[in-house]
Amino acid sequence: MRVFKPNVRPRRPVLIASTSLLTGCLLAGCGVFSPDEDDDAGPIVVGTTSAPSTLDPAASWDGSWELFRNIYQTLLGYPSGATTPQPDAAQSCGFTDSANQTYRCLLRPDMKFSDGDPLDANAVKHSIDRIRAINVSGGPAGLLGSLNRVQVLGEREIVFHLDEPDATFPFVLATPALSIVDPDDYPADALRGDGKAVGSGPYTLASYEEGERAELVGNKRYEGFAERKNDAVTIRYFPDSPKMVDALRDKKIDVTFRGLASSDIVALQGDESEEELQLVEGAGTEISYLVFNPKDPWARKAAVRRAIAQLIDRPAIAHKVYKDTVDPLYSMVPKGLAGHTTAFFDDFGDPSVSKARAILSEAGITKRVPLTLWYTTDRYGSETTPEFQEIRDQLNDSKLFDVTIKGRPWKTYEAGYRNGEYPVFGRGWFPDFPDADNFIAPFVGTQNALGTPYPVPEITGELLPRSRRESDRGAVEEEFEQAQQILVDDARLLPLWQGKQYVAASEDISGGEVALDPSTIMTMWELYRKTSW
């Protein structure tokens, strides 16, 4: 992880060897940063371009989790520096059998929701059962494919019985989709519809304006591993990066954590006028990819999909559009995780018009293929439009395709792809948890995060179950390599790039370097104002 603090004398980035080095300094009290106990400057204001699509965890398998992580609680979570789930609402959790099919959690004693209602084992069962009962299309029910039933033993004990071995189940329990909600406020068979939210997380949601802001205040009833370093946080939602960065420069917000445009990142890294701002850069696992709709008369043809895979110039996208703030990606599993490959490059090599023409000709396709590529205008950052313009131009310049592009705001865009309206559409993926399983399983099967069925029996019936029997997640590379080769052969999903993590903040804010958990969600409780440099 690197921290850039632009400065006039000297004008060069400050290089930090690792997150653990900086964290160690913070914990040891090096005399540089410390929480300001007398801070009366008001809430820390955080900006993002990723607004929630819902306040109900049963409806969300998307960026709404950013808010959920801070106002709701899960049985397990990620304390600062952890890469495997640790107890949060639970006092302890673990498999009770060698087959990884029975998982038991014991709640902390005397747990309560922020409104004072008891948080007991029945509340946990209610929260998880309603996800499957409501079964929102493209919603988080897809995460619970291995769960058979939830059993309650007394007020504090919950036992999860799985249909098959699943060593990733603790990771699933740590996702904000499995947030614990109050049975009195969240119906068992319907989504909550009053625009409010009550949880047991580090913060309560004091007020919420859709698409505008969420005001969080400390939850005095919270019991868990989070050590809140501030009393209140306001999250402001912006339509694009330039407006968000302008607000940061004008000191209307203190931190940005999602949606920084590459041009703004480059400016923050090197502009001498930014001496009052800091930029934290770290490795990330966000990915961008294209999805082909098997119901479309052209996108359903394997030759069309493979020709596009042969033409896409990922390095050009990364350099021209994203200014090298992302890396080209040649498999659905990103670099840094066991199971990553370069399968698309291995099969297709460098972009080639002649090879793409041959692929189409062998399938009897000799005329330009007409396709419409869809993207969301307000979800994945300001470069999404120029990215799709670049993809359009690459395909059209080959003289093999006649591509048009169209964009929609996320709310209508999401409904469109779930209804199968788009021949080809772009998606981004912020991981539910840091495991290769989470870059394969969510996209395959009859019910998946895309809302577009993709039955692949060899993956869902053989490779994933086999990998989930293995508790050592570094020992399942072979299964994921095979799964990715199947995806390459189908070319139903086409990875484009892998992102990095960037947090920009004013110079008086600390904690950004440790605030992003392994699924790149910001834990707001880590942020605080510095007393001095």
Q: Quote the tokens at residue 524.
A: 């707001």
Is residue 533's pLDDT more than 60?
Answer: no
Cis link prior to 10 (omega < 30° from 0)? yes
**Residue 269 belongs to what H/E stretch?**
helix 262-270
Query: Given pLDDT bands bounded at 50, 70 and 90, which one contains residue 5?
Result: very low
Amino acid at 72: Y
Write the pLDDT tens digit of every residue in 127-167.
999 999 999 987 899 889 899 999 999 999 999 999 999 99
Is residue 24's pLDDT more than 50?
Answer: no
Per-position b or e across 467-493, b if 16+ CB within 10 A of its CB: bbeeeebeebbebbbbbbebbbebbbb
What is the pLDDT averaged over residues 294-305?
A: 97
Dist CA 79 CA 84 (whole Å)? 9
Is residue 10's pLDDT more than 70?
Answer: no
Dist CA 289 CA 287 (whole Å)? 7
Q: Quote the tokens at residue 465.
A: 């179950």
Dist CA 231 CA 449 (whole Å)? 35
8 Å CB contact between 497 and 314: yes
10-19, 289-298, 499-508: lowest mean pLDDT where? 10-19
Is residue 14's pLDDT more than 50?
Answer: no
Query: Given pLDDT bands bounded at 50, 70 and 90, which one contains residue 354?
Result: very high
Inter-axis angle of helices 302-311 and 477-490, nearest 10: 110
Model pTM score: 0.77
26-40, 51-65, 333-347, 405-419: lowest mean pLDDT where? 26-40
Write the pLDDT tens digit of every residue in 47-87.
999 899 999 999 988 889 999 999 999 999 999 888 889 99
Write the pLDDT tens digit of every residue in 410-434.
889 988 998 899 999 999 988 888 8
Report which of 491, 466, 490, 497 is spatially closest to residue 479, judged by C-alpha positions: 466
Q: Give the highest mean pLDDT range of 312-316, 438-442, 464-468, 476-480.
A: 312-316
Is residue 38's pLDDT more than 50?
Answer: no
8 Å CB contact between 436 and 338: yes
Dist CA 468 CA 426 (whole Å)? 29
Is residue 394's pLDDT more than 60?
Answer: yes
8 Å CB contact between 217 and 228: no
pLDDT for res 9: 28
DSSP state of 188: S
pLDDT for res 257: 86
Dist CA 469 CA 101 (whole Å)? 9
pLDDT for res 517: 84
17-31, 317-331, 376-390, 504-518: lowest mean pLDDT where? 17-31
Write the pLDDT tens digit of every residue in 228-285.
999 999 999 998 889 999 999 999 999 998 888 888 998 888 755 556 899 988 778 8
Q: How far is CA 516 from CA 123, 298, 497, in A?
A: 28, 40, 20
pLDDT for res 231: 96
Question: Which of the two residues, 226 and 23, has the higher pLDDT score?
Answer: 226
Query: Given pLDDT bands bounded at 50, 70 and 90, which one contains residue 29?
Result: very low
DSSP state of 178: G
Is residue 532's pLDDT more than 50?
Answer: no
Considering the chain, what is the average pLDDT of its residues? 89
3-state secondary structure 386-436: HHHHHHHHHHHHCCCEEEEEEEECHHHHHHHHHCCCCCEEEEEECCCCCCH
3-state secondary structure 138-149: CCHHHHHCCEEE
Per-position b or e across 377-389, b if 16+ CB within 10 A of its CB: bbbbbbbbbebbe
Neighbour count for residue 28 (Cβ, 10 Å):
8
